[in-house]
Amino acid sequence: MSLPPLVEPAESLSVDEVRRYSRHLIIPDVGVTGQKRLKNAKVLCVGAGGLGSPALMYLAAAGVGTLGIVEFDVVDESNLQRQIIHGQSDVGRPKAESAAASIREINPYVNVVIHNTALDRDNVKEIFAQYDLIVDGTDNFATRYLVNDAAVLLGKPYVWGSIYRFDGQASVFWAEHGPCYRCLYPEPPPPGMVPSCAEGGVLGVLCASIGSIQVTEAIKLLAGVGEPLVGSLMVYDALEMTYRKIKVRKDPNCALCGENPTVTDLLEDYEDFCGNVSTEAADAVVGSTITARELKDWQDAGKDVFVVDVREPAEFEIVRIPGSVLIPKGDILSGEALSRMPQDKQIVLHCKSGVRSAEALAALKSAGFKDAVHVQGGVLAWIKTVDPSLPAY
């Protein structure tokens, strides 16, 4: 399915612009008119992280006239393995500013608009309304559903990509012409069932593989060339080096863009929709949560604690709380590790940030370990408040 160009051409290209974009101009399918369309285009990139980095850089180099960046985070050293729009000297700087500086260096003709904020239900429509097309480079289900819903409600095309370890997926969701994200994935996974990249890792260069598909699709939509990925899902497996294109149907029963929608406005709470912590876990942590500092005090006072790290072995190798024992969450949830839990010691669970340990705590409590507790904020809180010399990841 080919679609008409999304953007009208700008009036003209300057002599400098003709020189800069000459390799585009001599492609018959792009030409002067296509380049003028890019010049007139307004593209918003949600996130200036793994996918946002290559996306913003190539969109800038390609001559997209206005690039918006939504990003509230600051550059951390652990970002630099893949977030190539930022550099060593940017550590500690707001990502939106760092990204904007890189874009200006790549192409001074781009008008960069910084939205140094977290996207939420109160600002998303106002921000999206200023753009022709949205590129999604976020990192969690709650924001992805928020982006999708706002894009559908405003009738905006939405170039989507997601990554995990060696796998990537990309598509174009545009309810007017095909399926939306909810047609493909009507509901997010239950909390803890699908790990995030912060938990499971991601091959840095995978961001480029998927980000470049997103930019390619954005350019095709803006200029009206080729066959866009509307109604198709690209599935990339870097280990097997295969790309597979799968047909995605528009779901007539889609809650948002189907024939009888039940979702007619943004949801009140996307975190809740994604159940970021299960009800059991949320219940389990009440009155059974300690801080990293309290754990340290217990250890210093000689309290008989059994500190269980519920992360994965690779994470345990990177950094650990002294005296902790590795028992991955899965082994606790399956019941396999319950026999290793002492009955006569204070059990203290922790993970990286406190989500997985909350799930493990719920399982332990229901298995009868009523006095078990977990550490709020996990090993990251330990590093922050007890031993800043340890590496955060």
Partner 1 sequence: MGAVTVKVPTSMRHLTGGSGQVPADGDTLRAVIGKLEANYPGLGARLVDESGALRRFVNVYVDDIDVRYEQSLDTPTPDGSTLWVISAVAGGS
For the annotated catalytic residues, the residue numbers are 197, 351
CB of 379 to partner 1, least distance (A): 19
317 touches partner 1 by CB under 8 A: no
| Secondary structure (DSSP) of 72-115 | --B--GGGTTT-TTS-GGGTTSBHHHHHHHHHHHH-TT-EEEEE
CB nearer partner 1, residue 65 or residue 192: 192
162 touches partner 1 by CB under 8 A: yes
Which residue stretch of 97-105, 116-124, 162-170, 290-298 sits at the interface with partner 1 (rule: CB under 8 A)? 162-170
Which residues between 206 and 225 bind partner 1 (CB under 8 A)? none
191 touches partner 1 by CB under 8 A: no
CB nearer partner 1, residue 68 or residue 188: 188
Structure tokens at 38: 């890019």
Asked if residues 49 and 242 have their Cβ atoms less than 8 Å apart, the reply is no
CB nearer partner 1, residue 98 or residue 162: 162
138 touches partner 1 by CB under 8 A: yes
CB of 73 to partner 1, least distance (A): 8
CB of 182 to partner 1, least distance (A): 10
65-84 b/e (C-beta count within 10 Å ≥ 16 → b): bbbbbbbebbbeeebeebbb
Of the candidates 273, 74, 73, 41, which has an alpha carbon nearest to the alpha carbon of residue 157?
Answer: 41
Return d(Cα 328, Cα 331) in angstroms, integer.
6
- Residue for token digits 């200029």? 223
CB nearer partner 1, residue 170 or residue 308: 170
- Residue for token digits 């345990």? 316
Which residue stretch of 32-40, 84-92, 239-247, 315-323 sits at the interface with partner 1 (rule: CB under 8 A)? 239-247
Asked if residues 65 and 31 have their Cβ atoms less than 8 Å apart, the reply is no
Return d(Cα 163, Cα 306) in angstroms, integer.
36
Return d(Cα 156, Cα 148) in angstroms, integer.
9
CB of 293 to partner 1, least distance (A): 29
Which residues between 69 and 88 bind partner 1 (CB under 8 A)? 73, 79, 83
| Bridge-based pairing state of the strands 133-136 and 42-46 | parallel
**Any residues with CB less than 8 A from the CB of 284 and at least 6 apart, and which?**
358, 361, 362, 365
188 touches partner 1 by CB under 8 A: yes
Return d(Cα 353, Cα 330) in angstroms, integer.
16
CB nearer partner 1, residue 147 or residue 305: 147
249 touches partner 1 by CB under 8 A: yes
CB of 231 to partner 1, least distance (A): 12
Asked if residues 291 and 385 have their Cβ atoms less than 8 Å apart, the reply is yes
- Exactly one of 193, 241, 301, 314 binds partner 1 (CB under 8 A); which one? 193
167 touches partner 1 by CB under 8 A: yes
CB nearer partner 1, residue 11 or residue 259: 259
- 245 in helix, strand or coil? strand
52 touches partner 1 by CB under 8 A: yes
- Exactly one of 235, 282, 290, 338 binds partner 1 (CB under 8 A); which one? 235
Residues at the site binding partner 1, with contacts judged by CB under 8 A: 47, 49-52, 73, 79, 83, 136-141, 144, 161-167, 169, 184-189, 193-197, 200, 202, 233, 235, 237, 239-240, 244, 246-249, 330, 334
